[in-house]
């Protein structure tokens, strides 16, 4: 009786493991379902002016999105998911880098303005 229970539990465990492995091996198109999220990331980067201040990573994200779509059409999901992951990182970087670069440019213009004012002050005639 005791041996029968153990055998039953082992059999149930083996069946469950087999079903889990079989389910894990089924290929589903998860890449296509990730395209909207990636496009949202790219749009968020554009919203903070990444086209002007971080064009390289933004362009890279857009190119990888296009390549991922081609990989899905070719049913190469491993490559598609890899490209989507890389594009997500590129879009996130562009979104983070754009405001930083814009602030650096603003600071540079302010420094130039301050320098111009200082030069004007130096060139003023001396007061008697």
Q: What is the pLDDT of residues 104-123, one digit of tens each?
A: 999 999 999 999 999 998 88
**Total residues found in the chain within this entry:** 128
Would you say residue 78 has pLDDT above 90?
Answer: yes
pTM passes above 0.85: no
Sign (positive or negative) of CA dihedral 113, 118, 119, 123: positive
Give the CA-trace dihedral at 6, 10, 12, 15, to 10 degrees: -160
Question: What's the topology of domain 28-115?
Answer: Substrate Binding Domain Of Dnak; Chain:A; Domain 2 (1.20.1270)
Average pLDDT over residues 18-45: 77
| Residue 74's pLDDT band (cuts 50, 70, 90) | very high
Q: Do residues 46 and 58 make contact, with C-beta atoms less than 8 angstroms apart?
A: yes
| C-alpha atoms less than 13 angstroms from C-alpha of 99 in its C-beta half-sphere | 7
């Amino acid at each position: 009786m005791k041996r029968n229970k153990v055998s039953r539990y082992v059999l149930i465990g083996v069946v469950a493991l087999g079903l889990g492995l079989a389910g894990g091996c089924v290929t589903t198109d998860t890449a296509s379902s990730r395209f909207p999220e990636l496009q949202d990331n790219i749009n968020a980067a554009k919203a903070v002016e990444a086209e002007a201040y971080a064009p390289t990573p933004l362009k890279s994200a857009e190119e990888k999105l296009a390549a991922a779509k081609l990989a899905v059409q070719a049913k190469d999901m491993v490559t598609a998911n890899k490209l989507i992951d890389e594009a997500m990182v590129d879009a996130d970087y562009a979104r983070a880098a754009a405001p930083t670069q814009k602030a650096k440019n603003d600071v540079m213009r302010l420094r130039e303005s301050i320098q111009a004012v200082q030069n004007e002050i130096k060139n003023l005639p001396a007061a008697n």
